[in-house]
């Protein structure tokens, strides 16, 4: 295999995204049919990016640019050098650089894997020390790297690694289907009120007898803000769960960093099974995750709020499904303060109301959902093992130590 030195612009078209209008958050730019991908969407994507948090209107598109599916997105602000390949046509701002490969020289999958294996770390080291990390297009193009000269060799390497990503993606789709089935059951029982035996239960002002309409905070024994600390990949203490870790459909515990914390504070901020954590600031305000598995000590960061369900009032499965729902996110966003940087305090996050069913119905819901949640946990463990194996192989494949 022959290896050659190259830079990104020698292998295809490179340009920053466009978002020319000021202010950037002008309402008329949003809400249309054109996907608008941001740095967080790139970070949380897998190999391909299909999901996005905002859309542009015709006015938004006019001051931006629609990039074709197959473009490699590279973040240059906020989270440096994260990458994903567009699975759809989409716009993105100037905090993201687009790379469209010359297919006679390379392909997007190979370059994405090269970033994962070595370039991401190089670029992040390149930007450290500034008041705010950022990566200019000039800096992006200044680093040279080795790649196989033959595109077929690149394809074989990318195909080998993609096999892992495809298994992970298949498992992720199965996880999402399991989650959707639980949400549909929740909606059927607790929104449409077609729960087992509903025909024989009297409704009083629209609420089944024995049920209660309660605010989230009134269903919990504890509501508290998280711990302020710097994170590190070094194992210096417990895991530190952050907003960025709870946005994806599943928490990837392998990628959650660690933090230093005293024993007394660790006990105060420690997460337990069934706890629900919610993002209280930023574009992902209102995103929540129920802690369904904990394999080592975990504390939660300061921009999260923890809600500990009171088992005497509500089953944590019911509270978790409610707080992870789109309806809960929309409630929080509608009541959050701040325009450019939405934020919500514990009072707002805990103010959403849900129907709390009678104990017997809560127990039946847990029985119905147990198999789905067990399968979900098993698939998450499989994905964690696949990701670990992929990440061990990746650098050795990309530098030629292993040939395929």
Q: Are residues 40 and 162 in the same domain?
A: no
φ/ψ region of 184 (left if φ > 0, alpha if ψ in -120 to 50, else beta) reads alpha
Cis amide bond preceding 23, omega within 30 = yes
Q: Which of 287, 255, 239, 238 is nearest to 383 (CA)?
A: 255
Query: Are 18 and 60 in contact, with CB atoms under 8 Å apart?
Result: no
Among residues 131, 146, 161, the one where a domain terminates is 146
Q: How far apart are CA 109 and CA 102, in angstroms?
A: 12
Q: How far apart are CA 156 and CA 300, in angstroms?
A: 41
Q: Are residues 17 and 140 in the same domain?
A: yes
Q: At what angle do helices 316-323 and 326-335 cross, to 10 degrees?
A: 60
pLDDT of residue 287: 95
Q: From residue 301, how far is each of 63, 159, 184, 263 by CA, in Å?
A: 37, 38, 31, 16
Query: Are 330 and 352 in contact, with CB atoms under 8 Å apart?
Result: no
Output the pTM of the full model: 0.85
CATH number for the domain spanning 37: value is 3.90.220.20
Mean predicted lDDT score pLDDT of the chain: 93
Whose tokens are 């209107």? That residue is: 57
| Number of folded domains that form the chain | 3
Per-residue pLDDT tens digits for 4-18: 999 999 999 999 999
Sheet with 220-225: list strands edge to edge. 220-225, 304-309, 276-279, 288-290
Q: Are residues 217 and 259 in the same domain?
A: yes
Q: How far apart are CA 181 and CA 163, in angstroms?
A: 27
Residue 12 has phi, psi (to 5 degrees) of 170, -165
b/e per residue 281-301 (b: at least 16 CB within 10 A): bbbbbbbbbbbbebeeebbbb
Q: Which of 246, 394, 389 is nearest to 323 (CA)?
A: 246
Q: Are residues 189 and 240 in the same domain?
A: no
Instruction: Kindly tell me if the per-residue pLDDT of 295 is higher than 90.
Output: no
Per-residue pLDDT tens digits for 28-61: 999 999 999 999 899 889 899 998 989 999 999 9
Q: Are residues 341 and 362 in the same domain?
A: no
Q: Are residues 154 and 45 in the same domain?
A: no
Query: Are 2 and 149 in contact, with CB atoms under 8 Å apart?
Result: yes
Supply the range of the domain harboring residue 376.
150-208+357-404
Please give the average per-residue pLDDT across 200-219, as a whole number: 95
Q: Are residues 309 and 371 in the same domain?
A: no
Burial class of residue 152, CB neighbours in 10 A (0-12, 13-18, 19+) = exposed
CB atoms < 10 A from the CB of 170, how many? 12
Longest dimension (CA), the chain: 77
113 by DSSP, 3-state: which?
helix
Q: How far apart are CA 102 and CA 110, in angstroms?
A: 12
| 99 bridge partner residues | 14, 72
CATH number for the domain spanning 363: value is 1.10.287
SS (H, E, C) 34-88: EEECCHHHHHHCCCEECCCCEEECHHHHHCCCCECCCCEEEECECCCCCEEEECC
Q: Are residues 28 and 113 in the same domain?
A: yes
Show the tokens assigned to 34: 């054109």
Per-residue pLDDT tens digits for 76-134: 987 889 999 999 999 999 999 999 999 999 999 999 999 999 999 888 877 665 445 57
Please give the average per-residue pLDDT across 321-343, as a whole number: 88
Instruction: Kindly tell me if the per-residue pLDDT of 339 is higher than 80.
Output: no
Strand 239-241, strand 298-300: pairing: parallel
Query: Are 274 and 291 in contact, with CB atoms under 8 Å apart?
Result: yes
Query: Are 51 and 45 in contact, with CB atoms under 8 Å apart?
Result: yes
Residue 135 has phi, psi (to 5 degrees) of -130, 115
Among residues 146, 172, 187, the one where a domain terminates is 146
Q: How far apart are CA 347 and CA 56, in angstroms?
A: 32
Instruction: Kindly tell me if the per-residue pLDDT of 329 is higher than 80.
Output: yes
Q: Are residues 97 and 108 in the same domain?
A: yes
pLDDT band at 161 (very low <50, low <70, confident <90, very high): very high
Among residues 146, 166, 186, the one where a domain terminates is 146
pLDDT of residue 131: 45
Q: Are residues 68 and 200 in the same domain?
A: no
Q: Are residues 109 and 173 in the same domain?
A: no
């Amino acid at each position: 295999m022959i290896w050659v030195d190259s830079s990104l612009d020698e292998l295809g078209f490179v340009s920053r995204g466009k978002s020319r209008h000021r202010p950037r958050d002008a309402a008329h730019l949003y809400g249309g049919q054109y996907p608008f991908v941001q740095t967080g969407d790139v970070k949380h994507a897998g190999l391909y990016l299909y999901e996005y948090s905002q859309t542009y209107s015709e006015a938004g598109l006019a001051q931006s640019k629609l990039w074709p599916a197959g473009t490699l997105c590279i973040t240059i602000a906020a989270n440096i050098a994260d990458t994903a390949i567009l699975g759809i046509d989409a716009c993105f701002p100037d905090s993201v650089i687009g790379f469209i490969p010359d297919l006679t020289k390379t392909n997007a999958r190979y370059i994405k894997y090269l970033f994962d294996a070595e370039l991401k770390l190089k670029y992040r080291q390149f930007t450290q020390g500034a008041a705010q990390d950022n990566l200019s297009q000039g800096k992006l193009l200044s680093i040279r790297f080795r790649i196989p000269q033959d595109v077929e060799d690149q394809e074989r390497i990318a195909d080998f690694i993609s096999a892992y990503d495809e298994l992970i993606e298949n498992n992720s789709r199965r996880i999402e289907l399991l989650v959707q089935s639980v949400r549909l059951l929740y909606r059927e029982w607790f929104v449409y009120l077609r729960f087992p035996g509903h025909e024989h239960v009297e409704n009083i002002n629209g609420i089944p007898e024995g049920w209660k309409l309660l605010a989230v905070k009134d269903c919990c024994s504890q509501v508290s803000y998280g711990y302020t600390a710097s994170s590190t990949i070094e194992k210096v203490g417990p895991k530190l769960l952050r907003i960025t870790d709870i946005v994806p459909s599943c928490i990837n515990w392998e990628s959650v960093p660690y933090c230093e914390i005293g024993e007394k504070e660790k006990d105060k901020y420690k997460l337990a099974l069934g706890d629900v954590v919610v993002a209280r600031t930023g574009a992902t305000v209102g995103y929540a995750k129920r802690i369904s598995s904990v394999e080592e000590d975990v504390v939660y960061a300061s921009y999260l709020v923890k809600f500990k369900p009171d088992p005497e009032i509500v089953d944590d499965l019911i509270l978790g499904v409610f707080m992870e729902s789109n309806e809960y996110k929309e409630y929080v966003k509608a009541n959050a303060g701040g325009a450019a940087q939405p934020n919500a305090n514990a009072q707002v996050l805990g103010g959403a109301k849900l129907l709390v069913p009678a104990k017997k119905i809560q127990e039946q819901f847990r029985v119905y959902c147990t198999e789905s949640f067990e399968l979900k946990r098993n698939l998450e463990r499989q994905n964690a093992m696949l990701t670990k194996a992929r990440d061990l192989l990746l650098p050795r494949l990309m530098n030629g130590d292993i040939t395929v």
